[in-house]
Amino acid sequence: MHKVAIVGGGATRCGKREATWRDLIQEAGKAMFANIPNLSPKDVDSLFVGAAEPGRFAFLSHVAPLVAECLGIMPRKVLARTELMCASGQAAIRYAWACVASGLSDVAVAFGAEKMYMPDMAEAQTNMSCVLDREWDGVNALSAPPFFAMTAQRHMHEFGTTEEQMAQVCVKNHKYSALNPLAQFPKEVTVEDVLKSLMVAPPLKLLDCSGITDGAAGVVLVRAEDAKKYTDAPMYLIGSGQANIGNNVNNLASLSEWIPLKIAAKEALQSAKITLSDVDIAELHDCFTISEIMEYEAFGWCERGKGGKFIEEGQSCIGGKVAVNPRGGLLGCGHPLGATAILQAIDIMQQFRGEVPKGRHVQDAEVAVAHNLSGPANVHSILVYSR
Amino acid sequence: MLDFYPLQDPKTTEVSQFFQNLKQGKLTTTKCKKCGQLLWPPRILCANCHSNELEWVDLGTEGELYAFTEVRIGAPLGMVQDAPFCVGLIRIGGLTISSRIDNAKYDQLKIGDKLQLKIVELADGRVFFRFTKPQ
């Protein structure tokens, strides 16, 4: 196995964009290649495109060759779209990593894109309802907000977590997204703003939920020994973990404790040969405020049930026990499904390179974890990066 | 066009028995005769031991509310006109299954409530299950 490095990347601004799926990939592709002047599209031999539902959101399928065509890439080793719903972008990175690590590929692009704004937004909501077991859970209107609302209800019921504590996750992440020019919501909010926002599915309010987002992003992976050909500041991929338990809500391990995440986190740290205290930055999948709280617990930064107290004490802010989502998170930056993990990777790289604004820069960071969950939190995927 | 509801007749699914049972007021699922694994949703293969020898078991008609919420905005097409409506996870017959909850608003429900099985008939003759809070 070769050690693998990410040598650069680029992205679109996220949000409600006046742009098609095809426009977004061209914008992100240009930014990605501009970030790596020594790399020509002709050097890329493999391409993975993380895209959760282009068939439904943009009425496009077979999108990997569309990206190749638009960016002047001619894949000749491995080409595929990768789908793992909200972790589709991480799936693209994982596949690219495996291809480069194995020696099959020399230069692989992990790309991600989602165009979620549609002429009729009820159709967009409908698209999100075939993610959970469509005939047995989706049929009961279990898309993400109702499912995570019940998750939050159980966490509140079992551990006393409060709506104010959940709101504080949104406040923290917006504090950082206010300093991120790519963010969908680049402005600060207060606990009161969150609590007074529109009720979506109690106890979750609009600001407890990440947005509907258009966006695209790409990164380039090569063998570590080749990295210096492309950049003075490569970011190394040093570990990973992934676990899945069940699919239908009846078959989940637990509603109030994310056991697959505990398994994936343990594997990620072991494979990177690090401990939790080595982690300086954690990009955690805050699709909902309750998610980030449960992720503190499953990783082990605090005990089970104490995630609410952890954010209340400011331990997940920059300067706390671990800097969680200094990018601004999904809550602040938006969640263009297939692009999300790529956006996380680019921001971590920029953190290591000292290219982010002072107010959200984690000084001297050496190690970061990037986490995505998908579906009813039955799948958790983690990558470990180092400077 | 496909909609959210499962296809139900023997020409379209190998678990049509579930829907025939449902039409008779019975909520059932498959259980493996070989290893005893209870399987939800109904299957034709035991995920535990890969046996095809499955039997139908009755789950009963009374469940206990484990978690719930109310869909206020963002309901998918086909359900928009029903909003707001409650959904929950219901413990019944050794399972914890999702269901819509009729006949109750969010503020009238609490964890642990006893709920009753209800069969709903769709316009095209298909059936599905929901739960209601007894008045």
**Mean pLDDT (whole number) for A342-353:** 98
Neighbours of A276 (CB within 10 A): 15
pLDDT at A330: 98
A248–chain B nearest CA distance, Å: 8
Question: How far apart are the C-alpha atoms of A166 and A202, rounded to whole Å?
Answer: 13
Angle between the A289-299 and A163-177 helix axes, to the nearest 10 degrees? 90
- pLDDT above 90: residue B57: yes
Which one-letter amino acid corresponds to residue A342?
A: I
A-chain residue closest to B91, CA distance: A250
Q: pLDDT averaged over chain A?
A: 98
Question: By the 8 A CB rule, do A231 and A350 touch?
Answer: no
- The whole-number pLDDT of residue A121 equals 86
Contact predicate B66/B131, CB 8 Å: no
Q: Cα–Cα distances in Å, from A344 out to A158, A385, B101?
A: 32, 11, 39
Query: Residues A290-317: what's their mean pLDDT?
Result: 98
What is the spatial distance between Cα B100 and Cα B97, in angstroms, rounded to a whole number? 10
At B135, the pLDDT band (50, 70, 90 cuts) reads: confident
User: Among residues of chain B, what percentage have pLDDT more than 70?
Assistant: 100
pLDDT in tens, A4-43: 999 999 999 999 999 999 999 999 999 999 999 999 999 9
10 Å CB burial of residue A232 (0-12, 13-18, 19+) is exposed
What's the CA angle centered on A129, arms B84 and B105, to 5 degrees? 20
The pLDDT of residue A53:
98
Q: From CA B132, how far away is CA B119, in angstroms rounded?
A: 10
The pLDDT-based confidence of A277 (bands split at 50, 70, 90) is very high
**Interface with chain B: mutation pick from A198, A249, A250, highest number of B CBs within 10 Å:** A250
Residue A326: asked if its preceding bond is cis (omega within 30°), the reply is no
Is A99 among the catalytic positions?
no
Burial class of A245 by CB neighbour count within 10 A (0 to 12, 13 to 18, 19+): middle
pTM of the predicted structure, to 2 decimals: 0.98
**pLDDT tens digits along B87-133:** 999 999 999 999 999 999 999 999 999 999 999 999 999 999 999 99
pLDDT at B23 over 90: yes
Of A139, A249, A255, Cβ closest to residue B4: A139
A153 CB neighbours in chain B (<8 A) are 67-69, 111
Average pLDDT, chain B: 97
> What are A359-380's pLDDT values in tens digits?
999 999 999 999 999 999 999 9
DSSP per-residue string spanning A344-380: HHHHHHHHHHT-S-GGG--TT--EEEEEEEETTTTEE
Q: A18 exposed, middle or buried (CB, 10 Å; 0-12, 13-18, 19+)?
A: exposed
Distance CA(A251)–CA(A65), nearest Å, equals: 36
Q: What is the DSSP string of B6-54?
A: PP-STTT-TTHHHHHHHHTT--EEEEETTT--EESS--SS-TTT----E
Q: How confident is the model at residue A241 (pLDDT cuts 50, 70, 90)?
A: very high
Is the minimum CB–CB distance between A141 and chain B shorter than 8 Å? yes
Task: Report the pLDDT averaged over residues A56-71.
Answer: 98
CA distance B110 to B98: 16
d(C-alpha A137, C-alpha B62), whole Å: 19
pLDDT, average across residues A151-169: 98
Among A128, A129, A140, beta carbon nearest to B98 = A140
Instruction: Assign B26 a pLDDT band (cuts: 50, 70, 90).
Output: very high
Question: Is the pLDDT confidence value at B2 over 90?
Answer: no
pLDDT above 90 (res A145): yes
- Catalytic position from the list A155, A174, A285, A335: A335
Q: Would you place residue A251 in the very low, low, confident or very high pLDDT band (cuts 50, 70, 90)?
A: very high
What the block records as the tokens of A42 is 């002709």
pLDDT of residue B127: 98
Per-residue pLDDT of A203-214, as tens digits, reads 999 999 999 999
Q: How confident is the model at residue A110 (pLDDT cuts 50, 70, 90)?
A: very high
